[in-house]
Amino acid sequence: MRRLTAIAMVIILVSITGMEIKAVPPENGITGDEIHGVAVDANGNVVVTGSVSKGDSTAITTQKYDSNGKLVWEKSYQQEGSATNVGKAVVIDANGNIYVGGITEGKTSVPIPPSLSGLLTDYIILKYDKNGNLLWHKEYDKHFADLLSDIAIDSNGNVYATGVTIEVDLQGEQPTNLNFWTIKIDGTTGNVVAEDEYDRGRRDAAFGLDVRGNDVVVVGGTEVNNITKFIVVKYDTNLNKKWDRIYGNNAAATDAAIFSDGSIAVSGNKGTSFWTLLLNSNGNERWDKTDGTAYNDYSLGIGIDDNENIIVGNHVIESGVSKWHIIKYSKSGNVIWDKTYDIEGAIRKIAIYGDDIIAGGYRIVGGVNRYFVAKFDENGKEIWEGHKGEVELKADFSYYPANPT
């Protein structure tokens, strides 16, 4: 059995009512590769990252496209000795340097039971220059399993990463506690300059992150009296907690975007539907919107355009088929447009350039998931698309919050 499969097993073990941190089987048994992170630089160039299977291992695969959607370069990274290498998020600094956050296998001198083989994981961050040259890479370890979910960058070039850190009872071969783990690193050296392990209950999982000005916002899910809820934690840039708030039932937050006035837009899922909230700077709810079909729909990315409209990237189920879907709201919560695209697959993340929307995820081609990134104008009309070449792949690994069954 692949060591990657073992990781899937432990992550399923720590599933939370209404929210799961798990290996997600591709829809309808389809396998392949997919994008998890999207970023845009000051010139409109697009960078995506994700994972591609290579035999019995996976590689972090990062691509750069120009503003017209032409592939400029592609880089693949596999940590030495690690079968598991998953790109989860990407950001770009003012000089065009690229930071890729992901997951790789960890190391330990402690004997590990066979049932936990391959479950030892660390955060990993790679820094490339704008031409795709690797400048450095570093791993970050907290507890037994550390699963990075998102990264962000501030105006000083500091990089923030968040995700889930899992403590494991080696004798009992069971996870014992899940916490948010957020770190701040120096973008030049990769050294950690601040960190916070957020522990509200036995199961806390962070999935999204945004930074603006002096505010750092981390979102995810937490279990309260056996009910999973949205959770939003706000820090200053030294990762001192300002406040935390919980919202809803059977819900999990997936991504966040901060407005110039400090208000916060949050995407996620509630029951089987998308759930979007707008909070003021103190975490008080201004409005919420529930959308989607009658089936299990997922909302995984959110952004704000130059007119302060809110864009949410989703996928919906139509006639048993997963399709790309985007909703655009005004800041007051009115739906400007709501579109389902004839793209079979799923959006994993979005980025905004002016009023344009760049979405990344996967498209099903010939029964296999393929890297897929597309650019849309302010009205949701597709401008261009690009996807990875025809390489036969065997498997895929991902994790994200899921709706309750």
3-state secondary structure 21-39: CCCCCCHHHCEECEEEEEE
The pTM of the full predicted model, rounded to 2 decimals, is 0.89
Q: Quick one: average pLDDT of 182-191?
A: 98
Q: Quick one: average pLDDT of 283-302?
A: 86
For residues 275-284, one letter each, b for 16 or more C-beta atoms within 10 angstroms of the residue's C-beta and e for the rest, the string is bbbbbeeebe
Residue 401 has pLDDT above 80, yes or no: no
Q: Quick one: average pLDDT of 348-358?
A: 97
Residues 6+ apart with CB under 8 A from 42: 94, 96
| The architecture CATH gives domain 3-387 | 7 Propeller (2.130)
Q: Nearest Cα to 184, choosing from 136, 145, 218, 133? A: 218
* pLDDT computed for residue 318 by the predictor: 85
Q: Look at strands 192-198 and 251-258 and give their pairing.
A: unpaired
* pLDDT computed for residue 32 by the predictor: 61
Residue 154 has pLDDT above 80, yes or no: yes
**Separation CA 129–CA 393 (nearest Å):** 28
CA dihedral (219, 220, 226, 227) positive or negative: positive
Confidence of residue 273 (pLDDT cuts 50, 70, 90): confident
Residue 396 has pLDDT above 90, yes or no: no
- What residues are paired with 205 via a beta bridge? 221
Strands (E), 24-107: 31-32, 34-40, 46-54, 57-65, 71-77, 85-92, 98-105
**Separation CA 89–CA 360 (nearest Å):** 11
Instruction: Name the token pair of 348.
Output: 């994993």
**Separation CA 197–CA 396 (nearest Å):** 29
Confidence of residue 111 (pLDDT cuts 50, 70, 90): confident
Residue 383 has pLDDT above 50, yes or no: yes
Residue 339 has pLDDT above 70, yes or no: yes
Confidence of residue 28 (pLDDT cuts 50, 70, 90): very low
Per-range mean pLDDT, top range of 21-35, 99-113, 205-219: 205-219
Q: Quick one: average pLDDT of 356-362?
A: 97
Residues 6+ apart with CB under 8 A from 295: 272, 316, 317
Neighbours of 35 (CB within 10 A): 30
**Separation CA 395–CA 283 (nearest Å):** 40
- The region that residue 274 occupies, defined by phi over 0 for left and psi between -120 and 50 for alpha, beta otherwise, is beta
- Pair 203, 178: CB distance under 8 Å: yes
Q: How far is CA 95 from the centre of its chain?
A: 24
Structural domain boundaries in the chain: 3-387
Confidence of residue 393 (pLDDT cuts 50, 70, 90): very low
* pLDDT computed for residue 20 by the predictor: 43
Instruction: Quote the percentage of the chain above a pLDDT of 70.
Output: 86
* pLDDT computed for residue 294 by the predictor: 61
Q: Quick one: average pLDDT of 265-284?
A: 94
* pLDDT computed for residue 176 by the predictor: 80
* pLDDT computed for residue 243 by the predictor: 98
Give pLDDT tens digits for 46-104.
999 999 887 778 899 999 999 999 999 999 999 887 888 999 999 999 999 999 999 99
* pLDDT greater at residue 223 or residue 352: 352
